[in-house]
Chains A and B, each alone.
Chain A
């Protein structure tokens, strides 16, 4: 995020920024996607670079108050009803249950309401409370079923916790559960990966997100395992292909680079793609509440500063929290549309995106069988999707 800050500087330490008035073009109430960040975690996982806060149970209620205050300040941007609401973290389900339920009750209704959860936090009562609170979809951070690999990752939940959580959710009549899996964990063999996939499939989740573990600079994990990850890079090449072929063979649709859902043919005709994330990939506007949360509305993007204390302090005084702003001129937003849209299996409509494409690069990618260019649309071929990052760099202007 560019550190472009249009808000006035605080004139003395401790004083918060004055609220930045919403620009006139942002006024219309048309944003249908709301993200709410719940940063609390029991501990920080070594590989994580999200904005998280460990402990501080006493802060949860005040933070929820602040979220609701921020919602009030931005409410005029939001459509009613929302299409999607997404509570991400952190570990949203680690938030004190009362506070979490109060939040859910106060947020505007939405057709899809997703909550991220760590398996060890999902109990039957919580599952029922979430369901009663209007949650329609739960995304569980399973990551792996192998105890040694979970230990490497520093995760507290084991395979049994994942199964227990899924059963609890099913018992609470959740019919849209997503599992997150990680591959490329140091020490993970191809057979380990296959076993993880098999165990995940056995739980019959509606949706799966499979990420290659990234050694993000500056994390404890990279410090400890970076060299090992580099050494297994060559072997990892095959893992991605394996994940895709295993899951598609099991009846899942590879609808986004790292995301799979049960195909309508095996899901009673339901479209089980994550609607909230689909909005990102389709370049829709969204509003994010909470520390570190990003909003993109029209030609403007902003990100709340990550300090919990400053965030809560400002909002409880009725001020907007400190933010970094970024202007998104047309060509930039269009390039982003290409970058995001080509992650999907659905063709990207070219209308309005003509100048975001590099004609020579597109022709070359097409010649190499990486891109399918039909009148009015562009999509990556199956082969192109495995190297989609590079192909995007080739075809974008």
Chain B
């Protein structure tokens, strides 16, 4: 295809604002998929994504339109995958910015729109769902125009559901979005903007050819990681995989690598030809590091091998997932896992439980800390129990949070951000009704329950997004929980010094309710270093007998004893204290809304 007849674009939209419906309509209108073949929301292939309305993995579909080749590059919709979104956007020259005419701009849209603008993309603003009775196309158009510095009459008004205005969208893509630049005669370079794993074919890389061209059976090298492989096949999706002879300059398609491990080919890397390699990789590659960590333990310790196998399989498909074995005296054998963010964590957990049928205990998540030891060494700590007692300084990750709320909730959102050690950055009115608040906050404050709090304080009206802005020094304390004088590793936490007392107190109170009475008094303490900051006591039981036991009762009493004994066997020993697994579960487990 002629390079100037190619248009590469993506769609930026908030969840439920109609991205998938618009993509479906485009496939239909361009004859890529017939109405009968049409599967709703074709691009979202995984079951989980469909249910949650999230697209985790990007794909690219090629559609013909009036003699042009349009490549629609799908982007993940969530903040945890910002880096992947940025790579996807880098593969495009333009983006459709789709806004729900009834909902207006949301924080996620904003973040991704800014990302597109930063990537010098041509933005085509589209107001969708104009057929809805509560739609406000003019107001929304004005809001969008204001945001991107355009005029309202430049904003397209469509209904992806009915198909109204979709042809105009395609025409506008051809008109406004520039053809890809790039030198067809230069050494070959292609940006890997996504990948997926196929059991039989190995890693399939989604690429945008920037310079030169790639052919099947050619020796290829990934420049950042140095991985070498033979391109077993090249081609494109339309909408299913179609092999091609060649992927040319400006085109978007796939390369079958045969690699058996996704981590060997990371998103953002540059492919080049082994025969005539390029001198410089494309800019912007970075190794994505997990920022949120949690311990994953099988509820039944016999399931440990299944959990290990499941994580191995997930990792094939999810290069950003990190895990290493962790042993906890309270919870047994499990894994400490690293995630890009909370959503990523939730997705991994759900996939483990749903696809692999595992029953998991997930410890309270924490962030990555950078600790400077007294010897000046800097170590990254992923587990509160591993926080060195002696330390010069601790840095923790900070984020820049954007919150969009109706103006009447500004006060309560600011209060929440201030409570969470937030630093106010700025506030702006997006419209008369809606306000954008920007705060810098420690990521650790977000992973706890920030989102739930935000939702409840704004009756669900707030939308929220964040970017990592780097590590900053903090006054942090490691709070240890001691049961009968023995520290319980899985319950250690790192909190800001000012919150240590309150959090420690809440934890020991909860534990006191959960730990059954023993033969002796059991002290439950929260301590920072050697200083006890909260204490509760589980009083010794003075009496525990079966009142009567005669000839007629023996069977029943024996069965009772056997049940008691089975309960004893499930107890975890913390020093001399027997603690039921359920006690840890109650204190640790997420998702019960009590946090």
| A386 located at the interface, meaning its Cβ lies under 8 Å from any Cβ of chain B in the complex | yes
Cα-based distance from A348 to B555 in the complex (angstroms): 20
Q: Are B551 and A296 in contact (CB under 8 A)?
A: yes
Q: Let me know if B520 is at the binding interface, CB within 8 A.
A: yes
Task: From the candidates B542, B546, B551, B564, name the one contacting A257 in the complex (CB within 8 A).
Answer: B546
Q: Is B502 interfacial (CB 8 A cutoff)?
A: no
The one of B546, B549, B551, B568 in contact with A394, judged by C-beta atoms closer than 8 angstroms, is B568
Which residue of chain A lies nearest to B546 when distances are taken between CB atoms in the complex?
Answer: A389
Binary per-residue interface labels of chain A (366-397) against chain B in the complex, 1 for a CB within 8 Å, 0 otherwise: 00101000000000000001111110111010
Contact partner, A2, options B545, B550, B555, Cβ 8 Å? B555
Q: Tell me which of A211, A236, A393 contacts B565 (CB under 8 A).
A: A393
Determine if A340 and B554 form an interchain contact, defined as CB atoms under 8 angstroms apart: yes
Task: Determine how close the nearest CB of chain B comes to the CB of A369; give it in whole angstroms.
Answer: 9
Partner of B558, one of A35, A294, A336, A389: A336
Q: Which of B551, B557, B567 has the most CB of A within 10 A?
A: B551
Which residues from chain B contact A390 at a C-beta distance below 8 Å? Answer: 519, 541, 544, 564
Number of B positions contacting A (CB below 8 A): 26
User: A120-128, A218-226, A285-293: which lies at the B interface?
Assistant: A285-293
A361 in contact with B519 given A387-B545, A388-B544 (CB within 8 Å)? no
| A326–B552 CB distance below 8 A | no
Instruction: Please tell me if the beta carbons of B558 and A332 are within 8 angstroms of each other in the complex.
Output: yes
Q: If A340-B549, A361-B568 touch, does A387 touch B543 (CB 8 Å cutoff)?
A: yes
The answer for the CA separation of A339 and B541 in the assembled complex, in Å, is 20
Complex: A170 Cα to B572 Cα, angstroms = 56
Closest B residue to A236 using CB positions: B543
Given A332-B558, A335-B558, A396-B565, does the pair A386, B545 have CB atoms closer than 8 Å?
A: yes
Q: Kindly report which residue of chain A lies nearest to residue B552, judged by CB atoms.
A: A294
Contact of A280 among B550, B564, B565 (CB under 8 A): B550
Give chain B nearest CB distance to A213 CB in angstroms: 8
A179 to chain B, nearest CB (A): 15
Q: Chain B's nearest CB lies how many Å from the CB of A235?
A: 11
A389 — which chain B residues lie within 8 A by C-beta?
544-546, 564
Interface residue A189 (Cβ < 8 Å from any Cβ of B): no
Nearest CB in chain B to that of A293: its residue: B552
Stretch at the interface among A13-21, A64-72, A237-245, A315-323: A237-245
Q: Which residue of A lies closest to B566 (CB)?
A: A393
- Indicate whether A258 sits within 8 Å of B547 (C-beta atoms), given known contacts A386-B542, A393-B568: yes
Q: Report if B469 contacts A (CB, 8 A).
A: no
With A387-B519, A388-B544, A389-B545 given, is the CB distance from A280 to B551 under 8 Å?
Answer: yes
**Range of interface residues on A (Cβ < 8 Å):** 35 or more
Indicate if A207 sits at the interface (CB-CB under 8 A).
no
CB distance from B360 to the nearest CB of A (A): 29
Residue of A nearest to B550 (CB): A280
B561 partner, pick from A293, A368, A385, A392, beta carbons under 8 A: A392
| A-contacting residues, B509-555, CB 8 Å | 519-520, 541-552, 554-555
Flag if A238 contacts B541 (CB, 8 Å). Answer: no
A1-24 vs B, Cβ < 8 Å mask (1 yes, 0 no): 110000000000000000000000
Measured between alpha carbons, how far is A288 from B554 in the docked complex, in Å? 13
Which residues in chain B, 558-595, are within 8 Å of chain A measured between CB atoms?
558, 561-562, 564-565, 567-568, 576
Contacts of A262 in B (CB 8 A): none
Q: Which of A211, A332, A389 has the most CB of B within 10 A?
A: A389
Please tell me if B52 contacts chain A, counting CB pairs below 8 Å: no
Q: Kindly identify which residue among B543, B546, B547, B554 contacts A296, using a CB–CB cutoff of 8 Å.
A: B554
What A residues does B546 contact at CB under 8 A? 257, 389
A241 lies within 8 A of B552 (CB):
no
Task: Give the nearest-CB partner of A234 in chain B.
Answer: B539
- Which B residues, 483 to 527, have Cβ-Cβ distances below 8 Å to chain A? 519-520
Q: Is A171 an interface residue (CB 8 A)?
A: no
Q: Convert B280-306 into 0s and 1s, putting 1 for each residue whose CB lies closer than 8 angstroms to a CB of A.
A: 000000000000000000000000000
B485 to chain A, nearest CB (A): 15
Residue B36 at the chain A interface, CB threshold 8 Å: no
Is B39's CB within 8 Å of the partner chain A? no
A281 to B557, CA, bound (A): 12
B426 contacts partner chain A, Cβ-Cβ < 8 Å = no
Mark A272-311 against chain B: 1 for CB-CB distance below 8 A, else 0: 0000010011000010100011101000010100000000
Taken together as a complex, chains A and B put the C-alpha atoms of A332 and B562 apart, in Å, by 10
A167 vs B281: C-alpha distance when bound (angstroms):
109
Query: Are A280 and B554 in contact (CB-based, < 8 A)?
Result: yes
Chain A residues, CB < 8 A from B564: 389-390, 393
Q: Which residues of B contact A137 (CB under 8 A)?
A: none
Residue of B nearest to A383 (CB): B519
A2, A292, A388, A390 interface centre (most CB from chain B within 10 Å):
A390
> Which residues of chain B in 253-274 are interfacial with respect to chain A, using CB atoms and an 8 Å cutoff?
none
* Cβ–Cβ < 8 Å partners of B565 in chain A: 358, 393, 396
Are A368 and B545 in contact (CB-based, < 8 A)? Answer: no
Within 124-150 of A, Cβ neighbours of B (below 8 Å) are at none
* Interface flag for A343 (CB, 8 Å): yes
Residue contact A1 to B555, C-beta cutoff 8 Å:
yes
- A residues touching B (Cβ–Cβ < 8 Å)? 1-2, 35, 211-212, 214, 236-238, 240-241, 257-258, 277, 280-281, 286, 288, 292-294, 296, 301, 303, 326, 332, 335-336, 339-340, 343, 358, 361, 364, 368, 370, 385-390, 392-394, 396
CB<8 Å pairs between A and B, sample of 20: A2-B555, A35-B551, A211-B548, A237-B541, A241-B543, A257-B546, A280-B550, A281-B549, A286-B551, A292-B552, A332-B558, A335-B562, A336-B554, A387-B543, A387-B544, A388-B544, A389-B544, A389-B546, A393-B561, A393-B567
Given contacts A241-B543, A258-B548, A368-B519, 16 further A-B contacts (CB under 8 A): A1-B556, A211-B547, A237-B542, A257-B545, A277-B550, A280-B551, A286-B551, A292-B552, A293-B552, A294-B554, A301-B554, A339-B549, A387-B542, A388-B544, A389-B544, A396-B561
